[in-house]
Amino acid sequence: MNKDTLVSFDGVVKRFGEFVAVQRMDFEIGKGEFLAIMGSSGCGKTTTLRMLAGLEAPTEGMIRLSGKPINDLPTWRRDTPMVWQSLALFPFLNVIENVEFALKMRGVGKAERRRRAEQWLDRMQIAEFAGRNISQLSGGQRQRVALARSLVVEPEILLLDEPLSALDAALKVRMQSVLKSLQRETGITFVYVTHSQSEAFSMADRVVIMSRGKIEQIGTPQEIYRTPRTRFVAGFLGSSNMFTGRVTAANGKTVTLDTSVGALTLASSDLTSDVSVGKTATLTVLDTKTNLARTPPSGRVNAIPVKMMGEEFIGATATIYLETKDGQEIRVQKSHEELSNLPLEMGQDLVAYWAFEDGHLVMDE
C-alpha cells in the first residue's frame, strides 16, 4: 500500500442474497483526496459508501483505513462521519447543540466542545444562528450545520451521500464551492457519492464511475471526459457522439471503422494492440469538438450529412440537435459567436464534421 493511501478496497464484494450489489473492487483513496463516486440509481455507489462507514459488511475482501482492517470494526469506532442526503439533524436540539453532539459523545468537556462548535459555526458563516431551532433554517443553512457537525471532530475522512440533492440549482453551485474550499483548507479526505456529473466533475480530484455494481473507470474529471474507457462511460456522460462499427483498417497510427453513417477514421497516439481488423469498436467525439458546415470541408476530417432537428440555448452556449440519414441523433455544442456565421433553420441539411485527431476509440467488450 502506498504511504499516501488512506483507504484501500482489496477484492471487496457485496451480495444481498443472490444479488451482487458490488462486484470485485480493488482501488485506493489517497490522504487529502476529494474522491467522487457516481453512477445511476442502483449502481452500487451508496452501498460502497455504507461499507466504508460500517453500515454494511463486505461479503468478500477487505477494507483498510490507514493500513488497518476495519471490516469488523463497528461504525462508532471508525471515525468515518457521514453527511446524509436527509442531513439527519436532531430537531430537538438547536444549531450549536447539534454541532456539539459528536463531541459530547466523545466525552469532550462542556467548555471545550462549545468553543470548537462556535469555531466551526463561524467558519461555516452561520454563527448568528447558533441558538435557532433547526426548523427555522433554510436548506442551505441546514446543510452548513450538518457539515459543521461532522467536521467539528476533525476526522481523517468525511463521507457524503448526495448531500446537495435537495437544494435548488443556484444554491447547489454555491455549496459546491463551500465544500471544495473546506476540503482544501482542512486537508480532510472527502468521499462524495452523487449521480450528478456537474457536482462530481467540478469538485473531485478523481471520479469513480460505477454501473451495475462494477467500476467502469477511475480517473481525473479531465481524463474521463476526454478519454472514456468504455462505451458505457461515454454514453453515461452524454457529452460525446458515438459511432459503432467494424474495424476495417488499423496500422498503429490510424483506425478506420465501417459504421452506419459510413467510413470513419481516427488518428491517435494512444491506440492499443487490441485494435485489429474485424473487431467491433466505438468511435466517440465530444459534442464540443463536432462542427457544422453547409458543405463538406477538405482535409483530415470525418464528415457526415445531417438534418437539423432542434436547438437548445443554455447561457452562452447552444446545443444543436441533428439527425443522420439512418436516424441517429448527433449533438453539436458551440458558443453563440461560433454559430453566428452559420444561420440555422429547422429541417436544414448540413454537414457535421470533426478532425481525425479529435476522435477517441473504445473497444467493445
Helix 110-123 and helix 139-151, axial crossing angle in degrees, nearest 10:
130
CB atoms within 10 A of CB 58: 21
What pLDDT was estimated at residue 97? 94
pLDDT for the residue 2: 65
**pLDDT tops 90 at residue 219:** yes
Which residue spans of the chain are classified as CATH 3.40.50.300?
5-226
pLDDT for the residue numbered 169: 82
**Ordered alpha helix ranges (H), the chain:** 45-53, 95-105, 110-123, 139-151, 169-186, 197-203, 221-226, 231-237, 336-339
Indicate if the pLDDT at residue 302 is higher than 80. yes
Q: Which CATH topology does 5-226 take?
A: Rossmann fold (3.40.50)
Contact between 163 and 83 under an 8 Å Cβ cutoff? The reply is: yes
Residue 172: what pLDDT?
86
Cell numbers that stand for 210 in this block: 460505477
Q: What is the pLDDT of residue 1?
A: 56
State the pLDDT at residue 272.
65
Q: Report angle CA 15, 23, 84 to the nearest 5 degrees.
A: 70
CATH of domain 231-363: 2.40.50.100
pLDDT at 110: 93
DSSP state, residue 132:
S
Q: Which residues contact 63 (CB under 8 A, 6 or more apart)?
A: 7, 8, 9, 10, 12, 51, 52, 69, 70, 71
DSSP secondary structure of 249-275: EE-SSEEEEEETTEEEEEE-S---TT-
Q: How far apart are CA 217 and CA 224, in angstroms?
A: 8
What distance lies between CA 56 and its chain's CA centroid?
A: 23
Total Cβ atoms within 10 A of residue 349: 9
Averaged pLDDT for residues 58-65 = 97
Q: 227 in helix, strand or coil?
A: coil
Instruction: Evaluate if residue 34 carries a pLDDT over 80.
Output: yes
SS3 226: helix
**pLDDT (0 to 100) of residue 100:** 95
Domain with CATH 2.40.50.100 in the chain: 231-363
DSSP helix/strand/coil, 117: helix
- Averaged pLDDT for residues 275-297: 92
DSSP-derived letter for residue 111 is H
Predicted TM-score (pTM) of this structure: 0.88
233 and 227 Cβ atoms separated by less than 8 Å: no
Lowest mean pLDDT among 57-71, 270-284, 316-330: 270-284
Distance CA 277, CA 268 (A): 16
What is the mean pLDDT of the segment spanning 192-210? 94
pLDDT, position 258: 96
**pLDDT, tens only, 322-341:** 999 999 999 999 998 888 87
User: At residue 76, what are phi and psi to the nearest 5 degrees?
Assistant: -70, -10
Q: Is the pLDDT of residue 271 over 80?
A: no
Q: What is the mean pLDDT of the chain?
A: 92
Residues 242-266 have pLDDT tens digits of 999 999 998 878 999 999 999 999 9
* 31-46: average pLDDT: 95
Task: Give the separation between CA 106 and CA 198, rounded to whole angstroms.
Answer: 36
Whether 12 contacts 51, CB under 8 Å: yes
- By residue count, the chain amounts to 365
